[in-house]
A and B are shown apart, each in its own frame.
Chain A
């Protein structure tokens, strides 16, 4: 979805014909923080929380994953304990029959960890409200050859609630595989500009025919090896999220494009809702997900 912000980023990248060189400035002392990435949505599935430690900027190793933590999620009525996947250290899952319920507050609790390695156990927590899902009609594919980046647009038809601040995250799957799996590609939006409107074919993603030569993708740019084939199933998930999670997505996306003194302020840490903030950072979000699919059929070329 080429939002206003994306348009500005696009113009900035186009016009700054500048030169780059390796440059590794000396950096200040660092310290270790727990990083939490956890989600629960309205799907009935095994919901995941990932725990890892931060690393120094110039470290060249994968982050250390946090094992043996006691992790739970509660909505005040039910408590779901998460179990660490033996094959994926640091990845904790609920049972597969768990689902989130709209209009409830979900609280994540993490225990049995020693973040500072000071011999004392730390407890970390975070909360998130699970909002109501909106009204999502359908999606449609539309071929776009008007830009340099040709491809199939995934257009969305949905009704936004009037006079309610709504925040959306969009995901795209092709044949069940999540393609919008990276910050910088994933799209999201608030409804500030189209509050209460029917989004009559708003473009969420474009499945490009070719990956950009300079490897510069923008939010919403997807690429499937070999292009779309007859019978491919394209699914869009629209998730109603909280304002805080929208800010997290927005700030993480902005950061992924790099700091630019012309188009932004001083670089800053992305927002975190993990407490206590002096030992842990990250995101825990609850959201309501709806989905719609369509099957791709190659247009018949006239001979």
Chain B
């Protein structure tokens, strides 16, 4: 039944596109013809995403899509075409458009590009003219300059420096966008959902910067093509692989090393990239004085692979995958977790104005924990697996309209936990699997009006079907089970999710943008950890768990200065959320077959203002941002049903990220971050149990705050001497994390005094003092 619905949606789409294509096929559309093609990097053949194609006579144009494809539909005639992309020389050409033409261009690298650090890879005035708002696009060369913890440059740590984005705790890969929870971020790696983006308990992310081509974070204004999360979309795209020549990059650090190799399989037709990383911090454990450190294992590795083949001008196929694994062990106990993803894609160009992409995706997150100390054995495993199919179309109807439409369907399998071999008894304990389908169908248009105004509008229809056959427990007002439904029927939820936006160009250097989005989230993470924990489990909407919903409104003013080398923006937003989930006091979230009894439901709101100044001068690059934001929740049965601040409510946030290039070989980077202290719940009185143990009692949740957080990181980057035709280039990266050794409080406990058991002493824990590191990066 459900598969039929999916197929039905896809068939409908196919029919629509054929009709559409026939209706506006440029070959049949009278005087209009089209110019289309791919824009690539001449050095390595990588498709350039978001390159701008301008028709000078019309003062209008288009941009390349995620695969470097563009198309523009014009009346017959002669045109001056200009193609720009930051870091590349502008391509200009006269084109006689008397019929449909294909213009594939490989842009040449601009020598100046090598000197700078930029945050956007788009045209210089993109900050003003781009129709999206609340979006940040990061390039790897930007991220590589940012000082990093243990020298390991990290995509997510860079994202946490953007306005409106906050780290959930010291060193964590979890991030909160505009007050949302970490599970409200949709993280995609080549379109595959990454359910846990952390390595080493969050100190590293799963993204290996050597294989990443582009990162785009939507803090709001999420495109209609995506859904399923309330707060944000982090879209990470892997490189396609160098189709011109063999090349490699890598790095050797104190605790990890990495290597990526790429090259043509068939020159200009097929290419690949493969990369791997492995940490070896555990090799130093025997030197640590802590008890147990000598027996400990602690490492992760990950592998990325991607290959593509250009069948012909109209067809191109891709395969990409990720495999990552973490392992922690100590003596006879240990646990491991990891993601693996597989993406198969087929780009098809029906004609010069209709482009499609069909994607098959598999995504899996799994973990296991084992104890094998003779008799007290157990093996506990859990996993979450998705199979998805997506079909997306780009229809370049006219220069004024870019229509996108498509559909997707995902089959989720949730295995919350299975315990085997418990205490050698041979018994098997399993929490029943959950199964669900998640469908989406969407259409959107970006429409230019009056040369100054661009409208963006779209509609997504999402549906979710929980098809699990496990018992449903019905809860009364006191959250006690009063009935059990066996063999329940399919539970279906659906929602219409409008997305609206506009960009009004006041002049060539300033604009006003606004957006509204309605988003729905059907799966969520059972985690009340602030830092994110690998053993957390995902669970779907059900009879008891209603989908979370959010309205987000945002408006912003964007202005550039000094020939677009200084970009500024201010955005304000308001977000209200419904059916938000929090967890009751002392919630038991692991291996709990009645998990839904631990959940509490309510509403929340967030509002804030984000200020950003970004500099892209020849020597000095970076940005300064300030965010003011508040997030509050009102959830049944928590804090006596009063409003309380959300775990990620940090009203004031400052990030200063700067890079100064002294010479072509030497540059210095620094970032300083400041944030209001994380909300915390402190005790208000104590009682004594068993004449020895103090029990602590608490009032409302998150009623206090930790001290404010601030930290300075520094990096010095020294490149090897540039030699023409050199086969090897290297650079040293010396960095200091938390350079002035500020003791940022990670947690506070009240500990019984060893000499006077009546005394409880407050004790703070901090994770890092100064952390120096050195990394040698190379490419060949």
Contacts and interface: CB of A to CB of B under 8 A. Distances in A.
Do A and B come from the same complex? yes
A33 B763 contact: no
A144 interface: yes
A197 B427 CA distance: 7
B291 A261 contact: no
Contact of A267 (B422, B535, B683): B683
B376 A15 contact: no
Q: 6 nearest interchain CB pairs?
A: A265-B528, A268-B585, A23-B764, A35-B687, A24-B762, A258-B749
Contact of B371 (A7, A247, A282): A7
Contact of A197 (B425, B528, B685): B425
A21 B763 CA distance: 6
Contacts of A23: 745, 748, 762-764
B699 interface: yes
Contacts of A216: 291
A31 B685 contact: yes
B291 A212 contact: yes
B333 A11 contact: yes
Given A17-B290, A21-B763, A200-B424, A259 B373 contact: no
B681 interface: yes
Interface string A205-235: 0000000111010000000000000000000
Contacts of A251: 586
A11 B419 contact: no
A271 B373 contact: no
Interface in A92-144: 142, 144
Given A27-B704, A198-B425, 5 more contacts: A19-B766, A59-B758, A201-B375, A263-B533, A271-B586
A146 B374 contact: yes
Interface string B554-592: 000000000000000000000000000001011110110
A54 interface: yes
Nearest to A24: B762
A209 to B, nearest CB: 15
A301 interface: no
23 contacts: A1-B376, A11-B330, A19-B743, A22-B764, A25-B762, A28-B699, A29-B684, A31-B684, A33-B697, A37-B690, A54-B697, A56-B686, A57-B685, A57-B696, A147-B332, A193-B419, A197-B425, A252-B689, A261-B747, A262-B201, A264-B529, A266-B528, A269-B696
B427 A267 contact: no
Of the candidates B375, B376, B690, B769, the one having the most CB atoms from chain A within 10 angstroms of its own CB is B376
Contacts of B424: 200-201
A4 B419 contact: yes
Contacts of A59: 686, 758
A33 B699 CA distance: 13
B727 interface: no
Contact of A266 (B702, B745, B767): B702
Contacts of B686: 54-57, 59
Given A14-B293, A155-B375, A265 B583 contact: yes
Interface residues of B, number: 91
B323 interface: no
B698 A267 contact: yes
A25 B708 CA distance: 13
Contacts of A44: none
Given A14-B296, A58-B760, A194-B425, A259 B747 contact: yes
B254 interface: no
Of the candidates A10, A56, A251, A255, the one having the most CB atoms from chain B within 10 angstroms of its own CB is A255
Contact of B647 (A10, A35, A266): A266
Contacts of A184: 693
Contacts of B746: 18, 261
Contact of B693 (A28, A57, A183, A247): A183
Contacts of B290: 14, 17, 214
Interface of A: 1-2, 4-5, 7-8, 10-11, 13-15, 17-25, 27-33, 35, 37, 50, 52, 54-63, 142, 144, 146-148, 153, 155, 181-184, 192-195, 197-203, 212-214, 216, 247, 250-252, 254-256, 258-271, 281-283
Given A7-B369, A146-B374, A214-B291, A267 B765 contact: no
Nearest to B427: A197
Interface in B725-769: 743, 745-751, 756, 758-767, 769
B427 to A, nearest CB: 5
Interface in B319-333: 328, 330-333
A25 B696 contact: no
Nearest to A204: B376
B745 A267 contact: no
A199 B683 contact: no
A27 B683 contact: yes
A84 to B, nearest CB: 16
Contacts of B583: 265
B698 A268 contact: yes
Given A10-B330, A202-B376, A258-B751, A17 B685 contact: no
A271 to B, nearest CB: 7
A287 B295 CA distance: 40
A119 B711 CA distance: 54
B377 to A, nearest CB: 10
B378 interface: yes
B626 interface: no
Interface string B394-422: 00000000000000000000000001001
Contacts of B588: 250
A148 B696 contact: no
B28 to A, nearest CB: 62
Contacts of A56: 685-686
Given A20-B763, A269-B698, A7 B333 contact: yes
Contacts of B695: 35, 252, 255, 269-270
B302 to A, nearest CB: 19
Interface string B504-532: 00000000000000000000000011111
B747 to A, nearest CB: 5
A269 B694 CA distance: 12
A165 B423 CA distance: 19
A178 B686 CA distance: 25
Nearest to A253: B693
Nearest to A65: B688
Contact of B330 (A2, A14, A30, A192): A14
B292 interface: yes
